[in-house]
Structure 1
Amino acid sequence: MAFLDIKNLEKVFGQNRVVKDFNLAIEKGEFISLLGPSGCGKTTVLRMVAGFETSSSGAILIDGKDVVSKRPNQRNIGMVFQAYALFPNLTVAQNVGFGLKVKGIAGSEADNRVAEMLKLIGLPDLGNRYPFQLSGGQQQRVALARALAPKPQVLLLDEPLSALDAKIRVSLREEIRMIQQQLGITTVFVTHDQEEALSISDRIVVMNGGRADQIGTPFDIYNRPSTRFVASFVGTLNLIEAKVIDPAANRISIGDQAITLKEPLGAAKVGDTISLALRPEAGSIVEGANGDTALVGQVMTSNFLGSVIRTRMKVGTAVISFDMFNSPGLTPPSVGETVTLRFTASDLLIIRE
């Protein structure tokens, strides 16, 4: 049985169903990210698990016990908010120990736990400071320590890094993951940042319109998107329209160029239009290539992005982007130049939804 088991969860505001038949089974110690654009329902799911939002229907089980009818302080859950939510009139140590005080833990036991948490977040000597004396990253560390101090069964993080600058976000997300693994605590992390979700999660739930479009490992979500939305939302992707020319042989055409797919075309018929996905990093320019896994096109733009150079080429009516790793000796293709893009047949995925 899953440690955190969310079953048929729904939330209705008036006539608007913001969460629709949401199901998710999370194992003990697993790090799950809810990923999606604003308004997709990810924060509402998190708030229902925390008890801050009442579910319209469904069940939320923690270690086999349904907590839907319990108040937030009865669920043994730690919560980290986007805006830190530290008490400005309390010191760092008092903030970290607030949950312990609520649970009736005091004296040396509370002091030792606070010291342990401050050491865990790398701020062992800042217990006497106040929140306004800390940087944004330090404040979020304190918020994390406060959530962890009472030893919750589940840790919930609601876009905790979105108020920080890019460099601090990267270092702090790595710290959060390291602390989570060290403690072995079951964690649900809400974010709209694909890189965050891909870099620290055991599994990702991609949400769209109140539903879970796809649940899988970061590798599967990125490389094997199951819907058009997931394919377009996670990472940079080429979505290419193609015509079926021989379904039995898995032959399709992009513009006037034929390609043999590795993935079966299924029930598609001659003349059907299908959608294909191709990641920009999958292709490479080669001289004089021909065959089933090459496309010839004309360069439209070539943009320097630091570590990569992203080039857009036109093949028939399709526009395909591909990336080249930057190096001092690299000569990017020129606008108007005819180039040949080589990739493997397995790099082209059929998008069926």
Structure 2
Amino acid sequence: MAFLDIEHLEKSFGATKVVKDFTLDVEQGEFVSFLGPSGCGKTTTLRMVAGFETPSTGTIRIDGKDIVRLRPNQRNIGMVFQSYALFPNLTVAQNVAFGLKVQGADKGLIRERVAEMLDIIGLPELGDRYPFQLSGGQQQRVALARALAVRPKVLLLDEPLSALDAKIRISLRTEIRAIQQKLGITTIYVTHDQEEALSMSDRIVVMHEGIADQVGTPFEIYNQPKTRFVASFVGTLNLLEAEVIDPASGHVRIGGTEARLGRPLPAGRVTLAARPEMISLGAASGRETALQGRIVDVDFLGSVIRLRADVAGAVLAFDTFNDPQRVPPRMGDTVTVSLAARDLLLIGG
């Protein structure tokens, strides 16, 4: 049995079902992200685990214990919100100590735990300050320390970085992951930011319209998407329509070019997909399928040139490195792009 076991969880608000038959096993110490657009059910699922929403049906067990009927403060769960939710009239140290005081911990333990938490989040000298005297990133670190101070069995984070600027988000997500790994705490992280999910997670649950569309490692989610939604939501995706000539061998025609994928395909017409990094400008070793196209957009970004080309009736986006000795293509230029047919993804429903 997994440490956090969620089975057939559903939640309806009136006639609207926002979470549908959600099942997930999370191992102890695992970092799992719920990834998806607004309204997909990821925060509602998190709130049911936390106890802030009651499931319509389903079970939630932590370490073998059913917690569905327990109040939030009985579940031994730490929660970090997007809005920090710090007490403005309490100092940093008092905020971190709050949960311990509610538990009735003795003063010596509280002082020791607060000092430990402030050291872990890298703010040992700021215990006497108030939240308004801290930056957004520092406030979120304090919120994390407060959640961890009570030694919860599970840590839940609901879009904790979305209110911060880009540079701070990148730095803080690295710190959160390092702290989680150091403490070995089982963690569920809700985000709509695919880069956050890919960089931080042991596994990702991609959610769409209340359903877990796919569960897998970041590598699997990005490279082996199971549905059209997962393929299009995670990363940039180029779609190519192809006619299957021989289903058994995966022999297809893309525009006027034939290619062999080397794996069985359904008969008829199929949609294939290629990530930008699968496409090269001109000939490239190991990329045997050459397609003709016309450049429709060029963005010079310094070390990288981002290109878009009309190929076989589809606009493909891909990057090439800047070469000072080579002038990049211009809009309207006819070009050859190459890719390995075996890397093309077959996109399902």
TM-score w.r.t. the length of structure 2 is 0.97
Which shows bigger deviation, 68-77 or 246-255? 246-255
Show the 5 A alignment for 1:104-183. 104-183=104-183
More moved, 99-108 vs 182-191 = 99-108
Residue aligning to 1:304: 300
> Is the deviation greater in 315-324 or in 140-149?
315-324
Whether the aligned pair in 1 keeps the contact of 2:12 and 2:56 (CA below 8 Å) is yes
Shift of residue 87, structure 1, vs aligned partner: 0.2
**Quick check: 2:251–2:260 contact (8 Å CA) kept in 1?**
yes
Deviates more, 1:245-254 or 1:184-193: 245-254
1:339 aligns with 2:335: yes
CA contact (8 A) 1:298 1:339 kept: yes
- Give the match for residue 209 of structure 2: 209
Separation in structure 1 between the aligned mates of residue 284 and residue 78 of structure 2, nearest angstrom: 59
Once the two structures are TM-superposed, the CA of residue 94 in structure 1 deviates from its matched residue by 0.4
1:318 pairs, out of 314, 319, 331, with 314
Task: Write the distance in 2 (CA, Å) between the matches of 1:13 and 1:288.
Answer: 54
* Residues 67-106 of structure 1: pairs in structure 2 closer than 5 A: 67-106=67-106
Asked if the contact 1:147–1:155 (Cα under 8 Å) also holds between the matched residues in 2, the reply is: yes
Quick check: 1:249 aligned with 2:245? Answer: no
Structure 1 residue aligned with 2:260: 260
Paired with 1:45 and 1:287, the residues of 2 have a C-alpha distance of 47
Q: Distance in 2 between matches of 1:325 and 1:232?
A: 24
SS state at 1:163 partner: coil
In 2, the alpha carbon distance for the partners of 1:349 and 1:190 equals 27
Q: Is residue 249–residue 262 contact of structure 2 (8 Å, CA) maintained in 1? A: no
1:348 paired with 2:344, answer: yes
Residue 59 (structure 1) aligned with residue 20 (structure 2): no
Normalised by the size of structure 1, how large is the TM-score? 0.96
Distance 2:2 2:72 in 1: 21
Match of 2:271 among 275, 279, 285: 275
Alignment of 1:227-238 (within 5 A): 227-238=227-238
Structure 1 counterpart of 2:131, which letter?
P
Aligned to 1:219, the other structure's residue is in SS state helix
CA distance change for structure 1 residues 291 and 116 in 2, over 3 Å: closer, same or farther?
closer
- For structure 1, which runs of at least 5 residues remain unmatched after alignment? none
Question: In structure 2, the residue corresponding to 1:252 is in which secondary structure?
Answer: strand
Q: Any conservation in 2 of the 1:276–1:351 contact (CA below 8 Å)?
A: yes
Task: Give the Å deviation of 1:262.
Answer: 3.0
User: Is 1:263–1:350's contact at 8 Å kept on the other side of the alignment?
Assistant: no
Q: C-alpha separation between the residues in 1 aligned to 2:185 and 2:306?
A: 40
Matched residue SS, 1:79 = strand
- Measured after TM superposition, the shift of residue 150 of structure 1 is 0.3
SS in 1 for 2:2: coil
Root mean square deviation, CA, Å: 1.6
Work out the CA distance in 2 between the residues paired with 1:94 and 1:71: 24
The percentage of aligned residue pairs carrying the same residue is 68
Q: Indicate the SS of the match to 1:124.
A: coil
Letter paired with 1:120: I
Q: Which amino acid aligns with 1:318?
A: A
Is the partner of 2:220 in helix, strand or coil?
helix
How much does 1:316 deviate?
Answer: 2.6
Q: Deviations over 1:264-323 (max 9, x none)?
A: 20xx22xx2211110011111225999952212111111123443221112231221221
Secondary structure of the corresponding residue to residue 226 of structure 1 = coil
Question: Quick one: distance in 2 between partners of 1:48 and 1:307?
Answer: 46
Distance 1:290 1:112, change over 3 A: closer
Amino acid at match of 1:280: P
Q: Deviation digits for residues 81-137 of structure 1, max 9, x if unmatched?
A: 000000000000000000001111131111100010000000001111000000000
Distance in 2, matches of 1:130 and 1:161, equals 20
C-alpha contact 2:260 2:342 (8 A) present in aligned 1: no
Amino acid paired to 1:302:
V
Distance in 2, Cα, partners of 1:164 & 1:85: 15
Aligned partners of 1:159 and 1:144: how far apart in 2? Answer: 12
Inter-partner Cα distance in structure 2 for 1:94 and 1:5: 34
From the superposition, tell whether residues 18 and 303 of structure 1 become closer, same or farther in structure 2 (CA, over 3 Å): same
Which residue among 285, 289, 292 is the counterpart of 1:293? 289
Contact 1:155-1:185 at 8 Å conserved across structures? yes
Equivalences, count = 349
Distance 1:13 1:124, change over 3 A: same
Q: 1:291 to 1:308 in 2, by over 3 A?
A: closer
AA paired with 2:191?
T
Between 233-242 and 186-195, report the one with greater CA deviation. Answer: 233-242
Contact 1:4 1:61 in 2 (8 A): yes
